Structure 1
């Protein structure tokens, strides 16, 4: 007779697996690698931090608002060559955390 793990333990294991895979994406993204279906953005006003986000964020109105701010600030010819979003890192994380839930 086998022992069955409670549902909570199974859910915790799945969450840990997702956290490990997303952290490995972050580690590789910091080295310049971007996984298929994602793109890199630089976030910050003075000091820029690189984030890798899913392409699906592009169609979300909240993210489009961030892109509009970037267009107003930099236009389409930014000196760094990358997509830079001029907002506080905490604000960016707050917005993208809501996008990840939907």
Structure 2
């Protein structure tokens, strides 16, 4: 349990850093257990999130939207989620990542 809590705390810090930077974090190395995703409808912003987010039902709904919009051909070269950044940060916040 303590390991799980520490991973969530670490994920929260990584995501918060990517939000606070206000610029792309493409030059940063993605830690093991995390993945980079691009979020936005027009202008896309890069977030680094824990892989454990993939199993959450609300995040899976965002993945379904991504599949409908892009199939498996993501224009940014990574996983792209076509929702507003506010919506994504709201979902991430409810899941305890923010």
Q: TM-score, normalised by structure 1?
A: 0.70
- RMSD, aligned α-carbons: 2.5
Q: Is the 8 A contact 1:25 1:35 kept in 2?
A: no
Larger helix proportion of the pair: 1
| Structure with the larger RCO, 1 or 2 (CA within 8 Å, 6+ apart) | 2
Q: Is 2:39–2:83's contact at 8 Å kept on the other side of the alignment? A: yes
Match of 1:51 in 2: 47
> How far did 1:32 drift?
3.3
Distance 1:85 1:41, change over 3 A: same
Structure 2 length-normalised TM: 0.73
5 Å-filtered alignment, 1:13-92, equals: 22=13, 26=18, 30=25, 31-92=27-88
In our comparison, the structure showing a higher alpha carbon Rg is 1
- Count of residue pairs the alignment pairs up: 82
- Give secondary structure in 2 for the equivalent of 1:100: coil
Task: Give the distance between the partners of 2:53 and 2:45, measured in 1 at CA.
Answer: 18
Q: Which runs of 5 or more structure 1 residues have no equivalent in the other structure?
A: 1-17
Structure 2 spans left out of the alignment, 5+ residues = 1-8
Runs of 4+ in 1 over 4 A off after TM superposition: none
- Cα separation, 2, equivalents of 1:81 and 1:45: 16
More displaced stretch, 32-41 vs 63-72: 32-41
